[in-house]
A and B are shown apart, each in its own frame.
Chain A
Amino acid sequence: MSFAAIDAWWWPYLFILLAGWLATDCWRYLGVYLGDRLSEDADILVFIRAVATALVAAVIANLIIFPAGALAATPLALRIAAAIASFLAYLAAGKRVFVGILAGEAALLGGIFLFG
Chain B
Amino acid sequence: MTNDEDNQVATRAGGPWLWFLRGVAASFSIPGLILASAFVGFAGLAREAGLTMAETVFMVGIVWALPAKVVLVGAILSNTTLLAAAFAVALSSVRLMPMVVAIVPEMRAPTTRKWVLYALSHFVAVTSWVVALERFPTVPRYRRTVFYAGLGATLVVINMVVVAVVFSLAQNLPPIVGAALFLLTPIYFLTSLWGSARERAGHLAMVFGLALGPVFHLVAPGVDLLAAGLLGGLMAYGWHRFARRRARA
A73 to chain B, nearest CB (A): 7
Number of B residues near A (Cβ < 8 Å) is 110
CA distance A58 to B211 in the complex (A): 7
CA–CA, A90 and B188, complex, Å: 10
Cβ contact of B190, chosen from A2, A66, A87, cutoff 8 A: A87
Q: How many A-B residue pairs have CB under 8 A?
A: 330
The answer on a CB contact under 8 Å between B237 and A27 is no
Residues of chain B lying within 8 A (CB to CB) of residue A25? 121-122
Contact between A31 and B191, CB atoms less than 8 A apart: no
* Stretch touching chain A among B13-21, B83-91, B141-149: B83-91
B216, closest chain A residue (CB): A58
Answer yes or no: B101 CB below 8 A from chain A CBs.
yes
C-alpha spacing A1/B122, complex, angstroms:
27
Judging by beta carbons under 8 Å apart, are B118 and A32 in contact?
yes
Cβ contacts under 8 Å, B233 to chain A = 47, 50-55
Query: Is B48 close to A, CB under 8 A?
Result: yes
CB distance from B42 to the nearest CB of A (A): 11
| Chain B residues within an 8 Å CB radius of A45 | 98
Q: Are A61 and B210 in contact (CB under 8 A)?
A: yes
A36 at the interface (CB under 8 A from B): yes
Q: How far is the CA of A57 from the CA of B186 in the complex (A)?
A: 9
CB within 8 Å for A22 and B202 given contacts A52-B92, A56-B92, A58-B229: no
Contact B192 A60 (CB under 8 A): no
Contact A68 B77 (CB under 8 A): yes
- Which of chain B's residues have a CB closer than 8 A to the CB of A55? 71, 88, 91-92, 209, 225-226, 228-229, 232-233
Determine the chain A residues whose CB is within 8 A of the CB of B30 once the complex forms. Answer: 98
Chain B CB within 10 Å, residue with most, of A13, A45, A50? A50
Most buried by B among A15, A23, A105: A23
Nearest opposing residue in chain B for A103, CB measure: B187
Q: Point out the residues of chain A lying under 8 angstroms from B33, CB to CB.
A: 98
A68 to B46, CA, bound (A): 10
Residues of B near any A CB (own CB < 8 A): 30, 33-34, 37, 44-45, 48-49, 51-52, 55, 58-59, 62-65, 67-72, 74-77, 79-82, 85-102, 104-105, 114, 117-118, 121-122, 124, 173, 175-195, 197-199, 201-202, 204-214, 216-217, 224-226, 228-234, 236-237, 240
Residues on A lying within 8 angstroms of B by beta carbon are: 1-4, 12-13, 15-32, 34-36, 38, 40, 45-71, 73-74, 79, 82-83, 86-87, 90, 95, 97-98, 100-101, 104-105, 108-109, 112, 116
Q: 17 A-B Cβ contacts within 8 A? A: A16-B72, A19-B89, A24-B63, A24-B68, A29-B121, A31-B98, A34-B101, A45-B98, A54-B209, A55-B88, A57-B189, A59-B225, A62-B74, A69-B178, A95-B194, A97-B195, A112-B179
Task: Give 8 nearest A-B pairs by CB, closest first.
Answer: A31-B100, A57-B209, A55-B229, A58-B213, A54-B232, A51-B233, A70-B178, A54-B209
